[in-house]
Each structure stands twice: as structure tokens, then as C-alpha cells.
């Protein structure tokens, strides 16, 4: 595994290859990241992982500062996984140039997380667009846990006719059901139990809604979630996962999208 901290030396290296399979991360690597990397390694291209905690996608400085970081542990893990390249850029490396493409922000960026985290998706697309400019990957591997983010990156790539292809990978869950996330490391044992109970509640709810849409009673559901231990719910909505339209009647093709807090820790999922 070769480690790069400068985009110019990285570019010189990858120019020698047929292309790369890229897994962008903010570190704090977990089973979800490992699954993405293993998928990337199956391709015929070199595997490239990045670790960069992007300040522009945080709408609170405190959230940026408290984001879980453990680069030494991450490097050990990536060596064991035998990836080809690790890119750990500094801020100036990413933001010290003008990218070729202007970001395209689909109107769906104003919904769900975009409604509650102003500027979040602009920050995500900005950094992904810059990584694409630097690396020009053949494939980009992204998880379905961040489904809205995945959708918006795909739209940007389509609109700007970028040659990189997005590979969608299934959400990886802990044994207790909760979606793997770097933020889970901030949950204590009791909070993990709360998150698990919420996941199982929502899974049962989805089955009921498929049979009878009247079970989607927002005020009752929010009360149930608070009773289970959620501190606050930003949103809970049904979206068709093919066209991302809001579901307002009985349907079989939808996911429940949720963002909620346990104390000051914000968790998202789609089930």
C-alpha cells in the first residue's frame, strides 16, 4: 500500500495504471467501509481509498471537531486489506484549485437532510467533484445508507457527463440492526440499545405500511420513537427509491428515511 499526501505525486502514480476504483471516506473506518473496499478490490482496477474529513459539509463547527478520527488505526486496517493506494490530503490540496466542472445540485438536495443541514450537500458535492478532478476514477463505490447523498452524486455525474461510474453497495448493519456509521463509536451501550430498538420498530412499521398506509401516522410514530429513547426527530418520510418521489399511499417500492438524535448524536438510516 502506497500512501500519498500530495495530489501531484498521486496523479503521477495513477497515470501509470489503467484506472482506479475509488472509495472516498472520512476515516473512522468500520464494517461498512470494509465492505465497500472489498467490492472495489474485485474490479480490474487499482483500489484507492481517501481519508479526508471535509469541513465544508458540516453545518456546525462542534460537529466537525467531534467527528471520530483515528488515522493510525485506519492505516493499519487498510494495510491488512491490501489496498493499492491511500490518499490523505490536506485542505489546500483539495481546495487550492478550481475544478473543471461546476457542481450540479438537484432540487432533491433541499429535502430530508438538506432541509435540516444547510449547505451540507453543497459541501459533499464540492469535495466529491474535486476528488473526481484529481483522481479521475473509473468507479466510485458508495453505500446506500447515505441514499440521498448517493442520488445527488449520481445526478451530478450524469448532468456533467463525467465518465466515472457509481457502484451502489448495500447498507452494512451491526448485529443489533443499526446501520454501520463512524458516529456509532460515540454511542454508549445504552444508546446503542436505543438505536437498535428504533431500527426494529421501523422495520416492523414498514411491513405494516406496505399492507395499510394508515399505519403511517407521523404524530404517533414520533411519540413512539421519543418513548424508545430518541431525543429529537429531524424527519421521517417515505420515498420511492427508484424515482425519489414522496409516497402518500400504499406502495411496495419505498424506504422509510429517518434522521434522529440520541442526546447530541445525529443518526440517519433508510429502511
What are the start and end residues of each CATH 3.40.50.620 domain in the chain? 2-169
Residue 242 has pLDDT above 90, yes or no: no
CA 262 from chain centre, in angstroms, equals: 19
pLDDT of residue 243: 81
- Compute the distance between CA of residue 242 and CA of residue 254 in angstroms, rounded to an integer: 8
What are the start and end residues of each CATH 3.30.1300.10 domain in the chain? 182-270
Catalytic, out of 30, 33, 120, 156? 33
CATH superfamily assigned to domain 2-169? HUPs (3.40.50.620)
Strand partners, 265: 262
Task: Give this prediction's pTM.
Answer: 0.95
pLDDT-derived band of residue 248, with 50, 70 and 90 as boundaries? Answer: confident
3-state SS, 126-183, equals HHHHHHHHHHCCCEEEEEHHHHHHHHHHHHHHHHCCCCCEEEEECCCECCCCCECCHH
Average pLDDT across the chain, whole number: 95
* Count of alpha carbons within 13 angstroms of residue 259, beta-carbon side: 14
Residue 179 has pLDDT above 90, yes or no: yes
Can 33 be counted among the known catalytic residues?
A: yes
* Count of alpha carbons within 13 angstroms of residue 103, beta-carbon side: 20
Cβ-proximal residues to 159 (8 Å cutoff; 6+ apart), any chain? 104
Across the range 238-256, mean pLDDT stands at 85
**CA neighbor of 1 nearest in space, from 80, 89, 85:** 85
pLDDT of residue 59: 84
pLDDT-derived band of residue 245, with 50, 70 and 90 as boundaries? Answer: confident
pLDDT-derived band of residue 33, with 50, 70 and 90 as boundaries? Answer: very high
**CA neighbor of 134 nearest in space, from 40, 43, 36, 52:** 52
pLDDT-derived band of residue 249, with 50, 70 and 90 as boundaries? Answer: confident
Grid coordinates given for 31 = 464494517
pLDDT of residue 51: 98
Q: What percent of the chain has pLDDT over 70?
A: 100
pLDDT tens-digit map of 120-177: 999 999 999 999 999 999 999 999 999 999 999 999 999 999 999 999 999 999 999 9
Q: What percent of the chain has pLDDT over 90?
A: 91
Across the range 12-40, mean pLDDT stands at 97
- Compute the distance between CA of residue 190 and CA of residue 175 in angstroms, rounded to an integer: 15
Cβ-proximal residues to 270 (8 Å cutoff; 6+ apart), any chain? 144, 145, 147, 171, 241, 255, 256, 257, 258
Across the range 238-259, mean pLDDT stands at 87
pLDDT tens-digit map of 94-120: 999 999 999 999 999 999 999 999 999
Note the helical H segments in the chain.
7-14, 31-41, 61-66, 71-81, 91-95, 113-116, 120-135, 147-159, 189-211, 218-228
- Compute the distance between CA of residue 39 and CA of residue 167 in angstroms, rounded to an integer: 9
Q: Which CATH number applies to 182-270?
A: 3.30.1300.10
**CA neighbor of 144 nearest in space, from 100, 179, 185:** 179
pLDDT-derived band of residue 15, with 50, 70 and 90 as boundaries? Answer: very high
pLDDT tens-digit map of 53-93: 999 999 888 889 989 899 999 999 999 999 999 999 999 99
Which run of H or E residues covers position 85?
strand 85-87
Amino acid at each position: 500500500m502506497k500512501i500519498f499526501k500530495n495530489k501531484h505525486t498521486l496523479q503521477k502514480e495513477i497515470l501509470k495504471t489503467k484506472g482506479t476504483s475509488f472509495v472516498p471516506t472520512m476515516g473512522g473506518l468500520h464494517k461498512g467501509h470494509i465492505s465497500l473496499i472489498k467490492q472495489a478490490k474485485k474490479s480490474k482496477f487499482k483500489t484507492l481509498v481517501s481519508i479526508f474529513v471535509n469541513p465544508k459539509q458540516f453545518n456546525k463547527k462542534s460537529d466537525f471537531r467531534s467527528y471520530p478520527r483515528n488515522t493510525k488505526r485506519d492505516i493499519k486496517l487498510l494495510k491488512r486489506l491490501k489496498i493499492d493506494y491511500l490518499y490523505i490530503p490536506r485542505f489546500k490540496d483539495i481546495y487550492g484549485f478550481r475544478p473543471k466542472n461546476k457542481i450540479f445540485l438537484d432540487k432533491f438536495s433541499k429535502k430530508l437532510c438538506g432541509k435540516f443541514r444547510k449547505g451540507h450537500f453543497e459541501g459533499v458535492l464540492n469535495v466529491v467533484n474535486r476528488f473526481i478532478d484529481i483522481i479521475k476514477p473509473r468507479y466510485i463505490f458508495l453505500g446506500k445508507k447515505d441514499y440521498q447523498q448517493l442520488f445527488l452524486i449520481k445526478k451530478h455525474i450524469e448532468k456533467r457527463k463525467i465518465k466515472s461510474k457509481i457502484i451502489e453497495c448495500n447498507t452494512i448493519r451491526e448485529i443489533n440492526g443499526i446501520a454501520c456509521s463512524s458516529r456509532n463509536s460515540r454511542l454508549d451501550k445504552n444508546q446503542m440499545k436505543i438505536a437498535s430498538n428504533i431500527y426494529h420498530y421501523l422495520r416492523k412499521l414498514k411491513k405494516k405500511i406496505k399492507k395499510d398506509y394508515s399505519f403511517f401516522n407521523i404524530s404517533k410514530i414520533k411519540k413512539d420513537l421519543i418513548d424508545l429513547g430518541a431525543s429529537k426527530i429531524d424527519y421521517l418520510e417515505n420515498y420511492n427509491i427508484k424515482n425519489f418521489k414522496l409516497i402518500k399511499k400504499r406502495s411496495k417500492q419505498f424506504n422509510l428515511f429517518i434522521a434522529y438524535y440520541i442526546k447530541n448524536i445525529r443518526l440517519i438510516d433508510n429502511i
